[in-house]
């Protein structure tokens, strides 16, 4: 059994290739060739959550176990911890164990990249990041690599972290700055990513008519990063309707039924790009996207 640390896991999951792998996995799932149950949420002491996510196709099976513990940053620990086991579906043989937070960050950002490729009215526009943690950094890198994003503005409730992420962006060759007030940035930016663990909205609008928003931080019904009045003016797409019905507080608190009022990303693949927005893509995560990462990273080691 081989263990892959965060750096080795990331190296196996380039954003462009992972976005393509996610699209292929969604197609396979629609054909009945890949499947996953809904994610299991189990509460932990101190307000944390254990997330359990199995999935399989005919060659590869995965099971990701990660914890989300809001108190960890104050303890000097990462917010997310965990691992993902990748198995040969035919024999059950372990192909390797990947770093869980690295898989989560990269497949979430690659999913947003796929959604932006498919849905953003102006995918070449400037980017506003609300949040400056691991997910925000992954989205910065994914959209820079996959869309050619050249300008980014970063807002965080911790200004030093916003400036650190802006400095990282500049090191990648982007024009970047930290902003204290996201309001004026919304007038400039056609791409917006909310990547926080805030239980209350951080995005209040108004949005540009050509805006694309990827809301990825809230994953429970009692969490919402996007204010209801913003959600209601958007065309809304979701990673999966079932997952969002259980955990997309942004949509539920705005009175939307994900099964009735929103379009799954899988149905939008191959369809004409929206010519105007604003467009909101809500992601709460799903084991199918972890399966895509497992297939890309270690699928070649499965029994043929």
Mean pLDDT, range 254-258, rounded to an integer: 94
pLDDT single digits (tens) 49-60: 999 999 999 999
pLDDT category, 1, cuts 50, 70, 90? confident
pLDDT reported for residue 304: 59
pLDDT reported for residue 234: 96
**Which of 129-144 are b and which e, b meaning 16 or more Cβ less than 10 Å from the residue's Cβ?**
bbbbbbbbbbbbbbbb
Inter-residue contact 176 to 170 (CB < 8 Å) = yes
| % of the chain beyond a pLDDT of 90 | 84
Q: How far is the CA of 33 from the CAs of 2, 57, 301, in angstroms?
A: 27, 6, 19
With tokens 């040969």, the residue in question is 88
CA–CA distance, 172 with 140 (Å, rounded to integer): 10
pLDDT single digits (tens) 104-163: 999 999 999 999 999 999 999 999 999 999 999 999 999 999 999 999 999 999 999 999
Mean pLDDT, range 226-251, rounded to an integer: 94
pLDDT single digits (tens) 159-214: 999 999 999 999 999 999 999 999 999 999 999 999 998 889 999 989 999 999 99
CA–CA distance, 8 with 5 (Å, rounded to integer): 5
Task: Decide: residue 145, CB within 10 A, 0-12 exposed, 13-18 middle, 19+ buried.
Answer: middle
Q: Phi/psi at 190 (nearest 5 deg)?
A: -90, -15
Does the pLDDT value for residue 46 go beyond 90? no
CA–CA distance, 111 with 148 (Å, rounded to integer): 16
Beta strands in the chain (DSSP E): 34-35, 40-43, 49-57, 60-68, 80-88, 94-99, 127-130, 151-155, 175-178, 191-194, 212-215, 235-238, 263-264, 279-282
Q: How much of the chain is in helix, strand and coil states, percent to nearest 5?
A: 40, 25, 35
**CA end-to-end span of the chain, whole Å?**
19
Three-state secondary structure call for residue 66: strand
pLDDT single digits (tens) 61-76: 999 999 999 888 889 8
The closest alpha carbon to 126, from 169, 63, 93, belongs to: 169
pLDDT category, 45, cuts 50, 70, 90? confident
Does the pLDDT value for residue 30 go beyond 70? yes
pLDDT reported for residue 131: 96
CA dihedral defined by 250, 20, 100, 55, rounded to 10 degrees?
A: 80
Task: Kindly state the DSSP code that residue 189 receives in the 8-state scheme.
Answer: -
């Amino acid at each position: 059994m081989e263990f892959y640390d965060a750096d080795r896991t990331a190296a196996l999951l380039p954003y462009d290739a992972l976005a393509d792998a996610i699209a292929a996995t969604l197609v396979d799932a629609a054909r009945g060739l890949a499947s996953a149950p809904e994610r299991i949420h189990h509460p932990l002491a101190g307000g944390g959550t254990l997330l359990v996510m199995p999935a399989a196709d005919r060659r590869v099976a995965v099971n990701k176990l990660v914890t989300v513990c809001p108190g960890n940053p104050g303890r000097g620990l990462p917010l997310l911890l965990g691992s993902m086991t990748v198995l040969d579906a035919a024999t059950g043989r372990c192909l390797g164990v990947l770093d869980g937070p690295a898989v989560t960050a990269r497949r979430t950002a690659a999913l947003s990249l796929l959604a932006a490729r498919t849905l953003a009215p102006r995918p070449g526009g400037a980017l506003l990041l609300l949040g400056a943690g691991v997910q925000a950094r992954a989205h910065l890198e994914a959209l820079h690599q996959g869309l050619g994003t050249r300008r980014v503005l970063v807002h965080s409730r911790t200004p030093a972290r916003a400036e650190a992420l802006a400095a990282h962006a500049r090191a990648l060759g982007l024009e970047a700055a930290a902003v204290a007030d996201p309001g004026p940035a919304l007038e400039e930016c056609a791409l917006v990513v909310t990547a926080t663990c805030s239980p209350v909205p951080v995005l209040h609008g108004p949005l540009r008519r050509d805006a694309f928003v990827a809301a990825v931080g809230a994953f429970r019904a009692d969490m919402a990063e996007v204010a209801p009045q913003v959600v209601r003016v958007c065309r809304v797409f979701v990673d999966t309707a079932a997952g969002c019905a259980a955990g997309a507080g942004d949509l539920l608190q705005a009175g939307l039924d994900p099964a009735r009022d929103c379009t799954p990303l899988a149905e939008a693949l191959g369809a004409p790009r929206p010519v105007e927005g604003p467009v909101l893509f809500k992601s709460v995560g799903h084991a199918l996207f972890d399966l895509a990462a497992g297939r890309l990273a270690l699928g070649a080691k499965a029994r043929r």
